[in-house]
Amino acid sequence: MRPQHRLATGVAAAAALALTLSACSSDSDEGDAAPEETEAQTIEGADYNPQPREALEQGGEVTFPIGEITPQMNANHSDGSVDTATIWAWYNAQPVLMSPEGEASANPAYLSDWTTEVVDGKTVVTYTINPEAVWNDGSPITWESYEQTWVANRSVDEGYVPNTTDGYSKIESVEQGEDDRQAVITFDSEYPWTEGLFWNLMNPAVDSPEVFNEGYLEEPNADWGTGPYMIDEFDLNGGVISFVPNDNWWGDAPMLDKVTFRVLEATAAVNAFQNGEIDYVDALTADNLEQLADVEGAVTYRAQRTATNLLELNAEYPQFEDVAVREAMFKAINRDQIKEVVWNGLNYTEPEAGSLNLFPFQEGYVDALSEAGYAYDVEAANALLDEAGWTLNGDVREKDGMVFEGRMPIFGDDPITEARAKVIQSQLSEIGFSMEIDKRPSSDFSTVLTTKDWDLVGLGFSSSDPYGVAYMCQLYCSDSGLNLSATGTEEIDAKIADQVTSLPTAEEQTAAGLALESEIIAETWGILPLYQGPNIAMATEGLANLTPETYTGLDLFGLQPVENVGWMADAAAE
């Protein structure tokens, strides 16, 4: 899947650049707009109505919106997205859980023990699997699932197309432990990011590159799944997938009788929530908040967002082959003006986004983009293009008979998404670039992205965990499925391996990774971070433990058991 850098299963955000932000309060409130402030405020922390299971009522149904049911339904595959990971979580194993702050723990439903030690200079991780854990086909979950997950993710050379090889490529062996319910993972050296691996276990039936790459195409493969829920309805064309309690589940009973995801465009999702057809809607704008302000029984949530919106340029196209041209394109982008459009009517501010490895609120953060020499400077951008031989012919530059132009797709019907694209279009016209805006439905996102049917594109990189440079290769390496700019090189691959991932501690890797990131940006100019922003959402009152899936939502780095999503008992009684 096309995740964000910080995971072992990264993904790209499913609404290109389209997440709008929240007002000043991080508290949840009853659907009212944020109070006026003389000074814009940031939003910090999670806001997802966490509740213990004993506070919930057994039963009930929930309907969530989703941007698309992606063609590639394998969450470990490079062509997946945030939406892939969201659906995957409801019918596949969740062996690792994580707090909103990023503290990992074993899910006792799947793991009865999890130890990490260093033996003879090599990190060794031992997973002891719950003896009751089984796949939906009735076969036991064994060490072979860990072995196959490693094989599928360790390299692209064997024909598999994983979303990331980070971490898995450092593993020397995966072997059976005391019995078939224990997996022993040995790394080739000390490796500090072990808690970010083996989140999405593969069924041993996914035993070849062909099955891994093609077996989940438009097919969820329910028998290869496991967990508290199983698939009830799957209608790819109708844009619906639903889940009901799994008869084979051995853990805590799922709180809900049915969970449904419906494919909806942004505007349709807001209208559906207003009409009581769905129970949750996110990525809300100031206009959305005003529209929904009078909805009875709705609660507004405002949380910090562990994702970065960005622009990528496709260096495979001739107009972007020259690094100086790509640098000029980015220096013509006024990020402040873009944020004014995105955050219009919201009393919100945040530090500049300057890294794809760490967020500004994380320890060790460095504004690598500024260190690389980035600044909004139209005069400097035009000078770079002049020197590169691109001359104006009227309002648009040309070189050797080639027009300085390109197409940028946008996805969905959110008017702010289109407004933002028009701002970028106007900014780039100041350097003689002609940009076509190509409007597509949200359901086209994965196909357009993975077929590289674009010259420049807006994305969101969403992080599953706080481990930063653990996934640096996923961001910048030449064979990365996430870095679609085609600006990675074998030299950069070697620098990441030699200067970052070879270091023994997280602290050393983080410092070296941020220093190297500024060098990589200056050498490539393929990806431009724009902003993070918060996530503003509304949910039906009483719905608890929201957004349990990884990569997105209201709970920061949180990864919760899906069986704990449910209705509060007092709300159900009303």
Q: What is the pLDDT of residue 253?
A: 98
Average pLDDT, the chain: 91
Burial of 386 (0-12, 13-18, 19+ CB in 10 A): middle
514, 358 contact by CB (below 8 A): yes
- Most confident among 336-340, 474-478, 483-487, 550-554 (mean pLDDT): 336-340
Q: What is the pLDDT of residue 571?
A: 62
Q: For residue 516, is pLDDT > 80?
A: yes
Residue with tokens 């899910």: 107
Q: What is the pLDDT of residue 74?
A: 97
The percent of residues above 70 in pLDDT, for the chain, comes to 93
Residue 573 CA, chain-centre distance (Å), reads 36
- Tokens at 71, concatenated: 């063609």
CA angle 533/7/242 to nearest 5° reads 80
The secondary element (H helix, E strand) that includes residue 172 is strand 171-176
In which band, very low, low, confident or very high, does the pLDDT at 21 lie, cut at 50, 70 and 90?
very low
Give the domain range for residue 403: 1-91+227-574
Q: How does pLDDT run across 142-201, given as a tens digit for each residue?
A: 999 999 999 999 998 999 999 889 999 999 999 999 999 999 999 999 999 999 999 999
Q: Give a yes or no: residue 111 inside a domain.
A: no
Q: For residue 310, is pLDDT > 50?
A: yes
Q: For residue 4, is pLDDT > 60?
A: no
CA-to-CA separations, 342 to 21, 336, 416, 533, in angstroms, rounded: 7, 10, 6, 10
Q: For residue 67, is pLDDT > 90?
A: yes
Burial of 38 (0-12, 13-18, 19+ CB in 10 A): exposed
In which band, very low, low, confident or very high, does the pLDDT at 256 lie, cut at 50, 70 and 90?
very high
Q: Give a yes or no: residue 157 inside a domain.
A: no
Q: How does pLDDT run across 436-462, given as a tens digit for each residue?
A: 999 999 989 989 998 999 999 999 899
Burial 404-442 (b: 16+ CB within 10 A, else e): bbbbbbbbbbbebbeebbebbeebbeebbbebeebebeb
The distance between the two most distant Cα atoms of the chain, rounded to a whole number of Å, is 74
Residue with tokens 């891994």: 212
Q: Which of 253, 251, 255, 227 is nearest to 60 (CA)?
A: 255
The percent of residues above 90 in pLDDT, for the chain, comes to 86
Q: Give a yes or no: residue 453 inside a domain.
A: yes
Q: What is the pLDDT of residue 38?
A: 56
Q: Which of 341, 337, 342, 333 is nearest to 427 (CA)?
A: 333
Q: How does pLDDT run across 558-573, given as a tens digit for each residue?
A: 999 999 999 999 865 4
Q: How does pLDDT run across 378-402, given as a tens digit for each residue?
A: 999 999 999 999 999 999 999 999 9
Q: In total, how many domains does the chain have?
A: 1
Q: Give a yes or no: residue 459 inside a domain.
A: yes
Q: Which of 283, 276, 384 is nearest to 331 (CA)?
A: 384
What's the CA gap between 146 and 132, in Å, rounded? Answer: 17
Beta bridge partners of residue 261, listed in sequence order: 64, 241
Q: Give a yes or no: residue 135 inside a domain.
A: no
Q: Give a yes or no: residue 437 inside a domain.
A: yes
What's the CA gap between 247 and 228, in Å, rounded? Answer: 8
Q: Give a yes or no: residue 100 inside a domain.
A: no
CATH of the domain at 10: 3.10.105.10
Q: What is the pLDDT of residue 35?
A: 43
User: Left (φ > 0), alpha (ψ -120 to 50) or beta: where does 237 sit?
Assistant: alpha
Q: What is the pLDDT of residue 40?
A: 86
Q: For residue 45, is pLDDT > 70?
A: yes
pLDDT, average across residues 130-139: 97
What's the CA gap between 3 and 124, in Å, rounded? Answer: 26
Q: Give a yes or no: residue 219 inside a domain.
A: no
> What HEC string does 141-169 produce?
CCHHHHHHHHHHHCCCCCCCCECCCCCHH
Number of neighbours of residue 159 by Cβ within 10 angstroms:
12
Q: How far apart are the first and last CA of the chain?
A: 41
The secondary element (H helix, E strand) that includes residue 516 is helix 506-524
